[in-house]
Amino acid sequence: MKTTTNKELSNELNSLLANLQVFYANVRGFHWNIKGEKFFELHVKFEELYNNTLLKIDEVAERILTLSGTPNHRFSDYIKVSKIKETSKLSSSNDTVKNVLDGLHLLIKEEKKILRLASKVEDEVTNSLMSDYLKEHEKMAWMYSSFLG
């Protein structure tokens, strides 16, 4: 694999990392602030989701390092790059789930973009990682959509 290809993949992975970090922070906030009749159900689901996202954050950062890149680690950088925006003051089940769903759709879009690039340059490891994330995030999107009806 060429160095320029590694750099391009690292840049795209850093973009995904930024989106994952903001998504994580949002979901963590939903876990803390959820209110209403779905509290018990969503409190647990949001905890599962942010723990799952935290694992992905670490895997993406380590993949960037493997490609000889440097993972961004400042939240100010994440905010500039992320397509997922910070949220605040969301506590109703429908609002939080809609936000999670919007975030998942953005993550899926980013992952597909990286998957195409990784396939093009025959980076099977990044390809496999993105395939795994896509499978999981698409299923989550279906489940959260079903929650909304």
Set out the domains of the chain in order of their start, with CATH numbers.
3-148 (1.20.1260.10)
Predicted pLDDT at 79? 97
**From the centroid of its chain, how far is CA 110?**
9
Predicted pLDDT at 108? 98
pTM of the model: 0.96
Sequence-ordered list of residues with C-beta below 8 angstroms from that of 33, at least 6 positions apart, any chain: 89, 90, 91
Low-confidence ranges of the chain (pLDDT < 50): none
Predicted pLDDT at 4? 65
**Could you tell me which of 46, 26, 39, 144 has the C-alpha nearest to residue 92?**
39
- How many CA atoms are closer than 13 Å to the CA of 57, on its beta-carbon side? 18
What one-letter code names the amino acid at 23?
Answer: F
Predicted pLDDT at 3? 61
Predicted pLDDT at 47? 98
Could you give the CA distance from residue 104 to residue 111 in angstroms, rounded to a whole number? 10
What one-letter code names the amino acid at 48?
Answer: E
Residue 82, both tokens: 């992320």
Predicted pLDDT at 57? 98
Question: Is residue 110 classed as helix, strand or coil in its secondary structure?
Answer: helix
Predicted pLDDT at 149? 92
